[in-house]
Each structure stands twice: as structure tokens, then as C-alpha cells.
Amino acid sequence: MKAIVRKRFGGPEVLDIVERPLPAVKPGCVLIRVRAFGLNRAELYMRRGLWGEVAEVSGIECVGSVVSDASGILREGQTVVALMGGMGRTIDGSYAEYVVAPATNVVAVETTLDWERLAALPEAYAVAWTCLHRNLEISAGQRLVVRGGTSGLGLAAIDIGCRLGAEVIATTRRPEGEALLRSRGAAHVVTAAGEFAGELLTAPGWPGGKADVVLDLIGNSTVLDSMRATRRGGRVCLAGFLGGLAPLVDFNPLGQMPSGVQMSFFGSFNFGAPDFPLSDVPMQQIVDFEASGLYQGRAAHVFGFSEVPIAHELMERNAAAGKCVVVV
């Protein structure tokens, strides 16, 4: 089979297509023929060595068809989505024609969506759904702020939030991102490269007042500001690191965290663990909503297998403005 292998840590040029043996099915795992996969910023960090030692074959999600299931539960040819479960981190990931994934991280779906459209959904929508429903416990009528709105995960959160009846405020660093965010349902768009609490609460595009819930996809550089922009009793969920992995320096909760605001974190690497079963996410419903037009999860860019380095370079320039998908 063909696989995209990282020769060493570095830029997009370190990714090469090589021939590798078909991976063997292990107990508790499923062998999947990869038809398409989404790209994620985590894979850029892995490629550059910022997450320590990781598998040579990257890729944390894919869609495809079952070749064999060690447990015998899934039938050959069945359409599945797979995400995390160590893929791309502790085991070879989905940048390949075939991948072996833990059965706990594989979900069968029935759909007429093509592979390109299906591949835009698993990671982005599973994470967005979990953050909004579980961490933020969002309800209709609440004011939801999505920081990093033009990312694939941000757009998925806007989709889900709007469907739930929330008033969605999205932030972007680029004025040209406003049209995209409004087309996806954001009621208000704020262009903010850094902080928006305080003076930016009255900035053009912001409806005034504090947020009920905030999904922060920028990361450590903005999460305290997100908390300051949230009302007492509100919630903030940190679930992305678009702004980099640098930790908070000299963090002092006593002096920096507002009283009464709840802050939590969600990392999709937890999917498949006993406390975070993937069955908690209504993946079939997500797929059905996409097929019926209730969600708008189409990829912003579609690449061929050999074009993954080009896609990485686009994402590293923060020029993707949505989800990137690779069709195998």
C-alpha cells in the first residue's frame, strides 16, 4: 500500500509517499480501506515535532470501508468513520491507503454522501458536538462565542450551535472571514486578533454584554480573555490551539480568573476511552443532517493524496478558511 511517511521532523517537505506492507489486523481493531481523510492542525504540530515522538504515518481521522474486523461485528465493505484512538500518535495514522484503528474509535454509518463530503465530518463535528453538549451544556437562546470561527472545528461549532437555537458570535483575525462566518449562520462577527473582553465588548459587530458560553479554539493565549468575556455562571471550553502550544506563563488563578465562570478542556484524544465513548456522539445523526442540508460541513479545499504537503503549507499559512480534505 501507499502511505505518506514523515522522514524527519520539519516542514511540509518532510512528507514522502512510500510503499509499505498492508497492516495486519490486531485483536480489538478494524482494518479500513481509507477513501478520504480530513486534515487537522494537530498533524502540523506532530510533523514539526512539537508533540514529542509520534508515529511516522500521521492522520487522526478518516472515512472508508471495512476490510476486516477482528471482532467480527462490522461486515466487509461497510462504510465507517474513524478518529483518534492513537492514530497518528502512538500508532500509524490515516495518511495511507489502509489503516488499522481500535474498534472503540470506529463507527459504522449509512449514507449516500460521497467520500469527500463524509470526510469533512468526523473529527470536527464529533469534537464540536461534545464541547457544546457536554462541556458547555448549551441551550437554545444562549449567546455562544466561537473563537477561531473560520477553522474547520469553528465552522462545525457554528453549524451545531445555530441548529440548537443559540445566538452565535464568531471571531476571526481577518476581515475577509466575515462573509464566510455569516454564510454559515453567525449572527455577529468580531474581527479580533487578540483580546476582545473589555473595550471590544462594545466593538462593531458585537451585540453588547457578556457571553453565556465560549468555545475557545485559539488556545492558551486567549482563554483568560474568553473567561473575562463570559458572564457569572457561564462556561468556557478550551478545545483548540490555533494560536500555538505555548503554555500560560506565571498563571495565577487567584488574580486572573473571574469568579463564577466555569472553565473546562476537551481533547479528542480521549475519544474511545471508557469515560469518553464515541457512542456518546450521534454520528449517524450528524451524517444525516449533512446529507439533508441542516449542516454545511462541505470541505473548503479538496486535495489528492500526493498533495498533502501542499495542504499542510496552506494550513500553516492560516489560509485554509475551513476544513481541508484529502481523497485517496
Q: What is the pLDDT of residues 184-200, one digit of tens each?
A: 999 999 887 667 766 55
| CATH code, 2-120+270-327 | 3.90.180.10
Q: From CA 35, how far away is CA 109, in angstroms rounded?
A: 14
pLDDT at 191: 85
Q: Where are the domains of the chain?
A: 2-120+270-327, 123-266
| Residues 80, 86, 92, 94, Cα dihedral to 10° | 30
The mean pLDDT value for 256-285 works out to 97
Query: 206 or 90: whose pLDDT is higher?
Result: 90
pLDDT at 10: 98
Q: What is the pLDDT of residues 96-107, one digit of tens each?
A: 999 999 999 999
Tell me what percent of the residues of the chain surpass a pLDDT of 90.
91
Q: For helices 41-48 and 308-316, give the axis angle rounded to 10 degrees.
A: 100
pLDDT category at 201 given cuts 50, 70, 90 is low
Q: From CA 169, how far away is CA 207, in angstroms rounded?
A: 9
| Residues 141, 143, 149, 155, Cα dihedral to 10° | -10
pLDDT at 258: 94
pLDDT category at 205 given cuts 50, 70, 90 is low
pLDDT category at 203 given cuts 50, 70, 90 is low
Q: From CA 206, how far away is CA 200, in angstroms rounded?
A: 8
pLDDT at 174: 86
C-alpha triplet 98, 102, 103: angle, nearest 5°: 105
Cα dist from 168 to 84, 139, 152, 184, whole Å: 28, 12, 16, 10
Q: From CA 192, how far away is CA 218, in angstroms rounded?
A: 11
Give the three cell numbers for residue 246. Answer: 505555548
Q: What is the pLDDT of residues 235-262, one digit of tens each?
A: 999 999 999 999 999 999 999 999 999 9
Tell me what percent of the residues of the chain surpass a pLDDT of 70.
96
- The amino acid present at 140, given as its one-letter code, is A
The mean pLDDT value for 165-178 works out to 92
Residue position matching grid coordinates 503554555: 247
The mean pLDDT value for 65-80 works out to 97
pLDDT at 208 > cutoff 90: no
Q: For helices 122-130 and 283-292, give the axis angle rounded to 10 degrees.
A: 110
Tell if the pTM clears 0.85, that is, is over it. Answer: yes
C-alpha triplet 327, 2, 113: angle, nearest 5°: 20
pLDDT at 207: 74
What phi and psi values does residue 38 have, to the nearest 5 degrees? -85, 155
Percentage helix, strand, coil, to 5, in the chain? 30, 25, 45
Residue from 24, 60, 62, 68 nearest 41 by CA: 60
Alpha helices in the chain (DSSP H): 41-48, 115-119, 122-130, 152-163, 178-183, 223-228, 253-256, 283-292, 308-316
Instruction: Let me know: does 159 contact 267? Beta carbons within 8 Å.
Output: no
Q: Which CATH architecture best describes the domain 123-266?
A: Alpha-Beta Complex (3.90)
Alpha carbon of residue 311 to chain centroid: 16
**Equal CATH topology for 2-120+270-327 and 123-266:** yes
Average pLDDT in the chain = 95
Q: What is the pLDDT of residues 281-328, one digit of tens each?
A: 999 999 999 999 999 999 999 999 999 999 999 999 999 999 999 999
pLDDT at 25: 95
Contacts of residue 238, defined as CB under 8 A and 6 or more positions apart, other chains included, come to 216, 219, 220, 223, 226, 263, 264, 265, 266
Query: 205 or 184: whose pLDDT is higher?
Result: 184
Cα dist from 107 to 125, 284, 328, whole Å: 14, 9, 20
